[in-house]
Amino acid sequence: MTKKLLLRALAGETLPTPPIWMMRQAGRYLPEYRATRAKAGDFLSLCYNSDLAAEVTLQPIRRFGFDAAILFADILLLPQALGAELWFETGEGPRLSTITRPADLGALKGKDDIHDRLAPVYETMRILARELPRETALIGFAGAPWTVASYMVAGRGTPDQGPAHALKAADRKTFSALIELLTEATIEYLSAQVVAGAEVVKLFDSWAGSLKGQDFTDFALAPAARIIAALKARHPGLPVIAFPREAGPRYVGFARATGADCVALDNSVSAEWAAANVQKDGCVQGNLDPRHMVTGGQGLVDETRRIVRAFAKGPHIFNLGHGITPDGNPDNVALMVETVREAR
């Protein structure tokens, strides 16, 4: 069987047309997703209903023919499996019980105690491995330790990750222990996803850009390197995509330093700069501004073509620079896919 396009790009092959998928491709911009979520009742119920989570994962594949599907789940399911309380406030997003003292950390479960809670996620992966088209790659994922820790310390998302930075400054020992636990638990979580059928895994460090200097090395780069090394030791040949969002100049050399097979890029860096400075080390993914999924038109076409051209001399996976927003238009997604596949 011909190797899947996404896996070929991750292996370092320069393809005539880059494979394409889209962060948050299963989501609120699709009417079929909204209908399925209504059937589930609420967001967490959807995440833990294996049949419905598989259904929403498959919906954008049926509609757009993406080259990869990514497991429908949430990065905060892992802290919940570790014993944190998790709930979602309608219209406001996730809420967590907070980890701010050694006693809070000590009350959490160990890395080997997460799997019962996460069993429905693994079942979703097994369903997808059976039901996806043969040419479509299956991606598993987890949040990177720093990003997940920032939610656990604050109890919610914050614009500047201020509470996590404050704990890091005031009690680096406790904060480092939280990162350590999350690193080990993430290895177990992603490894179980691979056993269940994931062919690729992606590590989302959505808030990596707020780490500076040694903190970036200690809390973004080093945990990613440990996770990737452990996964590759257990699952030889497993490709890993790393996304240290808004890392800016720290994108340079990130693949070499962590062992990642591909570095995903946000849209704050230009494709031309990334082609010269990041793609030289291997596959890159990205990086169309998600706003084009709202505005569409010739601007979408022109930017898509520019990005494909910029990365044409090396391995590239076409994607957005961040997830599609709920106000994205499915017609614009279809136009993007068509433009990528006609661009070269």
Closest among 319, 288, 320, 333 to 306, alpha carbons compared: 288
Contact status, residue 20 vs residue 344, Cβ threshold 8 Å: no
Q: How would you classify the pairing of strands 68-70 and 137-143?
A: parallel
Three-state secondary structure string covering 244-299: ECCCHHHHCCHHHHHCCCEEECCCCCCHHHHHHHCHHHCEEEEEECCCHHHHCHHH
Query: Which residue numbers are catalytic?
Result: 24, 28, 37, 74, 151
Q: What is the DSSP string of 95-131?
A: EE----SHHHHHTSPPGGG-HHHHHHHHHHHHHHHHH
Question: What interhelical angle do 50-64 and 31-40 show, nearest 10?
Answer: 170
